[in-house]
Structure 1
Amino acid sequence: MHEDVERCVRAVQAKDARFDGWFFTGVLTTGIYCRPSCPATPPKAENMRFYPSAAAAQRAGFRACKRCRPDAAPGSPEWNHRADAVARAMRLIADGVVDREGVPGLAVRLGYSARQVERQLQAELGAGPLALARAQRAQTARLLIETTALPMADVAFAAGFASIRTFNDTVREVFALTPTLLRERAARGRPAAAAGTISLRLPFRRPLCPDNLFGHLAANAVPGVEEWRDGAYRRTLRLPGGPGIVALSPRPEHVACTLTLTDLRDLTVAISRCRWTLDLDADPVAVDDLLRADPVLAPLVDKAPGRRVPRSPDGAEFAVRAVLGQQVSTAAARTHAGRLAAARGEPVEDPGGGLTRLFPEPGALAGAELALPRARRATVAALAEELAAGEIDLGVGGDWNEARARLAALPGIGPWTVETVAMRALGDPDAFVPGDLGVRAAARALDLPAAPAALARRSCAWRPWRAYAVQYLWATGDHAINRLPAA
C-alpha cells in the first residue's frame, strides 16, 4: 500500500487508525516517522515519504514519533492472510527466529537460501531480516525500559542486543532519547512491575468483538493449562527460555496483557504469540465489508462487527486437542485434554491462579493412557509421532497446503480436523468447515445449503475470509463459545 501515495496521503490527513501498521509516514521536515493516525497536525503532502515497515523508515534515517509511538502499532494484516514466503518470514521474525537462529535458521525454515530471503524482504519491505529483527528488539527494549525496574544492562540482553553499546546506540537512534530518559518520561510515579512480570496494552484495529474470541477460548479451556479468572483468559505458554503465564483481558481500546516470564528474553515471542492467539493484527473492516456484501451474512455482521478467529499459541498442542475433540462434546474434549495434561504436562507454578501444567509436547505423548476408542488413540499416537519428528510443521511459518496434505494423510484425520487446524493453528483466514455441526445448524437456520458440498460451493462468495464467516455462523447458536464468561 505504501506505493499508493495518494491513498496514503488521504489516510494521514484523515488520521485514519485503520491503516496503522499498513504503512509508516516519514516527515522530511522533522526527521520523524509516524503511524497514519498520529494526532499531530498532518505535514504537507510534499514532505511525506511512505514506508512499508518501521524498519524501512528507521533505515531511511527517521526516528520514532514520541506522540503516536509507531513502533508499537498493530502489525500489518498482510502477514496474517498471506501464505507466501515473505508473509511466513514476517511471522517467524515476529516469533523471534532471527534472534534465536539467525538469518540462516530463518532461511532453512522457509526452504530458501539466506540470499533469497534477504532479496525478497528487501524488495517488499525495504529492509532485510536483520533490520526487521533490530526494529523488533528496539520495541522490546522500550517495553522493558518503561515497564520494569531492570538495570539497563539486563534490559539490553533481555531485548536481544549483543552489547550495551549497541543497545544504547539503537535506542537513541530510534527514539531520540537515551534509555534513562525513556524510563524517566514513562515513570510518572508508577510503580515498577515485579521481577519477571510485564504489564502492557496490546493494540488492535477496531472494531473488535470480544464475545466469541474470549468466549471460545474460555469455553474450551483445558483444566490446569487454561482458565478464565477475574475477567481474564489465562494460560501457560511454552517459551524458548522456560514456561510463561499470560493473562489477557478485553478493554474498549486495547487488550490488557500481563506476562509472567521465566526469562525476560522471551518477551517478544510471548507478545507475538498473544497477538496471534487473539488475531489482533486482522483488518476487521476489510473482512466485514466483504461478508456484509452477502445479504444472508449482513445482519450477523451488523449485529456484532469485528469478530476475530480464536487461535492457539501452540499449533502442535491444538492439533492434538482437535483430534481429542473429534465427535465428542466440548466438555468431553476438555476432560480428555485435561487428563492428558495432568499426566504428561510439565508442572508450572502459578501463585496468582489455578494453572498447573504446560500442555505436553508431542514427544511426551508416546504410550499415554487415553480413555478413547482404539482408532482415536492410534490417531493421536500417529499425529504425535509426526509432530515430534518435525514431519508436520504447524508453527506460524508453516506452509498451509503442505501441512494440510500431511495431516490428511494420517489415519483417522478427516476434512473437519484438517480445516479446524488450518483455521486455529495455522491461521489460514480462508479455512472452512462445512461439515461442522454448528455451521450446518446455522446454515439451516439461515436457509443456506446444509449439505457440506453445497455449502462449500456457496461459501466461495466469502473468500478469502471464510474462517471469519464461520465465526459469524457459530454466533447464531446458543453456546458458551459465543459469550464472555461471567467475571
Structure 2
Amino acid sequence: MTALHDDPERCTRIVAAKDERFDGFFFTAVLTTKIYCRPSCPAVTPKPRNMRFYPSAAAAAGAGFRACKRCRPHAAPGSPDWNVRADLVSRAVRLIADGVVDRDGVPGLASRLGYSVRQVERHLMAELGAGPLALARMQRAQSARVLIESTPMPFTEIALAAGFSSVRSFNETVREVFAMTPGELRAARRPSGGSPQPGLISLKLPFRQPFCPDNLFGHLVATAVPGVEEWRDGAYRCAFRLPHGHAIAELSPRPDHIVGRLRLTDPRDLTAAISRCRWLLDLDADPVAIDDQLATDPVLAPLVRKTPGRRVPRTTEPEQFAVRAVLGQQVSTAAARTHASRLVQAYGDPIDDPAGGLTHLFPTSRALADLDPEALAMPRTRRLTLMRLIEALNSGDLTLDIGGDWNKAREQLYALPGFGPWTVESIAMRALGDPDAFIPGDLGVRQAALRIGLPEKPGPLTARAQVWQPWRAYAVQHLWGTSDHAVNRMPPF
C-alpha cells in the first residue's frame, strides 16, 4: 500500500480542501517559499508543481524547509498511523516522543527496541525520511518553544531543559526550525491575560475532530485514585513520575483542543510530560477511520452516530495500571479505588500540590516489594497475583512501557498466576495502547451486547467482533457507553 505522502495527487486534493483531519499524516513543503505546513494551512495556495510532501516534520526540516509561522505544523497531532501500529518504526516513534533519545541516546533507543542502531536508523529513514537524531531534534525544538512562550525561564535554562548540548545549538535550532530567534518567539507570543506563572507551563494539546470527551474524562474521574487523581474546577488533575522527577498535570477539554497546565519538578521532563498527556487522552487517534470501520456493523452504527469520536482512556504509567488492574479484578469501581488508595497512603511518595488536593505519587513496584500481602483486604489468590506481578516487574521478567511489544507483553502477563483475558486485555488496551485489545468477558461489555442484540458469551461475541478489527478497543468504549455508569458521563464543571 502506497504511503500517503508518496501519493502527490491525493495529497494535492487534501491540501486544496484544507482538510484538517489529515494534519500529522503528512506535511506540505513549498519550493518557492521554502516553508512547510500542515495540509489544512490556509496560507498554502501554491501550484501543485511547487509542492513536495513529507511523512514527518523532521523530514521536511531536514530537506531545508522552515516551519510555517501561521499553522505551526510542528504542533500538529501526531500521526495516528505510527501511534496504533506495533512494528519497529511505530514503537521507536513513541519512545522518541517520550524523550528516550535525549536521555539515553540512539544506542539506548535501540536497546529498548531490541535492534541494532543501524537497523533502527535504516527503518526510520525509510518510513519517515529522518533518523532518530533528527526526530529527537524536532522534539527538542518544540519543547523549547513551549518553554519560551509559556514560562519566564532564561534562555540558558531553557536550552538545558529542552535537551540541547549548548546555548549555541539551541539558538541555531530554534532559528532554523521556526525562522525566528528565541527572543522573537517570546516577544510574539499571544497575550494570555498576564505574565506566565513561575513553575506553571501552559499549552494547547490539539486533536482530530470529532472528539467525545464524555467517556474519556468520565472514566478517568470515576476510577480516580484519591490523592493521585482528582477532578477540580473543570480539569482532570493527576500526578505521575517522569525520568527526572514528577509532574502534576491539569487537563481541561475544549471544543477544538485540550487546555494543558503542567507543573514539573524538572523542566527537562517537558517532552515526556506532553507525550504522556497526549497518550493518556488518546489525542493522536484517527476518529474518522475508526468510526467509519465500526459503523460498517449495522448493530454498532447507531452507537457510533450518537457519540462519534470516542477515545480510549489510557494511563501515564503502565506499571501503575497493571497493579490497579489486579486490584480491580472481580470488584466494583469503588472497591478498586479503595484498595488502590490504601496502597498509595502506605507506600506512595508524598508530594506538594499548592493548587489542589493531590498528595502522593502512586507507589513504584520497588516500593511495593515491601508490601505485606496479609494486610490486603482481598482474597488470598488475588494477593498472590499481585505479589507475583510485583516480583515480575522488579526482576525484569515483565516489561510494560509505551514503546513495548504488545504481544510479548501479553505472553509475559499470561505466564503469571491469576492473569486471565480480562486483566491482560485491560492492560493491553489502557496501558500499552493496543487499539484492537478486546475484553468480551467484561461484565459491562456482556451486558451491553445483550442490550443491543449481540451475542453475550465471550466466544460468539469475539467471533462477531471480527468486523470491528483493528479498532475493537474503541468498540468497547461504545458498548460501555450504553449503560448509565458514571464512567460514561462528563463530570460537572
CA RMSD of superposed structures (Å): 0.9
Q: Residue 471 of structure 2 aligns with which residue?
A: 465
How many Å separate the matches in 1 of 2:465 and 2:191?
53
How many Å separate the matches in 2 of 1:311 and 1:251?
19
Matched position secondary structure for 1:177: coil
Q: Residue 280 of structure 1 aligns with which residue?
A: 283
Letter in 2 for 1:392: L
How many Å separate the matches in 2 of 1:182 and 1:367?
49
Select which of 311, 326, 330 maps to 1:327: 330
TM-score (norm 2): 0.98
Matched position secondary structure for 1:25: strand
Matched position secondary structure for 1:396: coil
Rate the CA distance shift 1:241–1:195 in 2: closer, same or farther, 3 A: farther
Deviations 1:88-139 (A, max 9, x none): 0000000000000000000000000001100000010000000000001001
Q: How far does residue 329 in structure 1 lie from its aligned partner after superposition?
A: 0.2
Q: How far does residue 79 in structure 1 lie from its aligned partner after superposition?
A: 1.9
Rate the CA distance shift 1:187–1:477 in 2: closer, same or farther, 3 A: closer
How many Å separate the matches in 2 of 1:350 and 1:2?
45
How many Å separate the matches in 1 of 2:311 and 2:191?
35
Matched position secondary structure for 2:423: helix
How many Å separate the matches in 1 of 2:414 and 2:435?
19
Q: Residue 109 of structure 1 aligns with which residue?
A: 112
Select which of 245, 248, 262 maps to 2:248: 245
Q: How far does residue 367 in structure 1 lie from its aligned partner after superposition?
A: 3.8
Q: Residue 411 of structure 2 aligns with which residue?
A: 405
Q: How far does residue 241 in structure 1 lie from its aligned partner after superposition?
A: 1.4
Q: Residue 261 of structure 2 aligns with which residue?
A: 258
Matched position secondary structure for 1:2: helix
How many Å separate the matches in 2 of 1:391 and 1:141?
37
Select which of 416, 427, 440 maps to 1:421: 427
Q: Residue 16 of structure 1 aligns with which residue?
A: 19
Q: Paired residues, what number?
A: 487
Q: How far does residue 390 in structure 1 lie from its aligned partner after superposition?
A: 2.2
How many Å separate the matches in 2 of 1:79 and 1:191?
38
Matched position secondary structure for 1:83: coil
Deviations 1:419-461 (A, max 9, x none): 0000000000000000000000010011100010000000000
Structure 2 residue runs of 5 or longer lacking an equivalent are none
Percentage of identical aligned residues = 69
Select which of 24, 38, 63 maps to 1:60: 63
Q: Residue 76 of structure 2 aligns with which residue?
A: 73
Q: Residue 232 of structure 2 aligns with which residue?
A: 229
> Any conservation in 2 of the 1:198–1:260 contact (CA below 8 Å)?
yes
> Any conservation in 2 of the 1:18–1:206 contact (CA below 8 Å)?
yes
Mapping of 1:372-411 within 5 angstroms?
A: 372-411=378-417
How many Å separate the matches in 1 of 2:191 and 2:360?
37
Q: Residue 316 of structure 2 aligns with which residue?
A: 313
Q: Residue 168 of structure 2 aligns with which residue?
A: 165
Q: Residue 180 of structure 2 aligns with which residue?
A: 177
Q: How far does residue 389 in structure 1 lie from its aligned partner after superposition?
A: 2.1
Deviations 1:196-232 (A, max 9, x none): 2101110000000000000000000001000111111
Select which of 27, 30, 38 maps to 2:30: 27
Select which of 481, 485, 492 maps to 1:486: 492
Mapping of 1:129-168 within 5 angstroms?
A: 129-168=132-171
Select which of 456, 459, 463 maps to 2:462: 456
Report whether the alignment pairs 1:192 with 2:198: no
Matched position secondary structure for 2:236: strand
> Any conservation in 2 of the 1:196–1:263 contact (CA below 8 Å)?
no
Q: How far does residue 191 in structure 1 lie from its aligned partner after superposition?
A: 2.8
Structure 1 residue runs of 5 or longer lacking an equivalent are none
How many Å separate the matches in 2 of 1:198 and 1:433?
37
Matched position secondary structure for 1:191: coil
How many Å separate the matches in 2 of 1:341 and 1:292?
41
Report whether the alignment pairs 1:347 with 2:353: no
How many Å separate the matches in 1 of 2:192 and 2:314?
37
How many Å separate the matches in 1 of 2:314 and 2:390?
20
How many Å separate the matches in 1 of 2:78 and 2:264?
23
Matched position secondary structure for 2:467: helix
How many Å separate the matches in 2 of 1:241 and 1:394?
19
Q: How far does residue 193 in structure 1 lie from its aligned partner after superposition?
A: 2.1
Q: How far does residue 187 in structure 1 lie from its aligned partner after superposition?
A: 5.0
How many Å separate the matches in 1 of 2:391 and 2:466?
35
TM-score (norm 1): 0.99
> Any conservation in 2 of the 1:24–1:34 contact (CA below 8 Å)?
yes
How many Å separate the matches in 1 of 2:105 and 2:43?
38
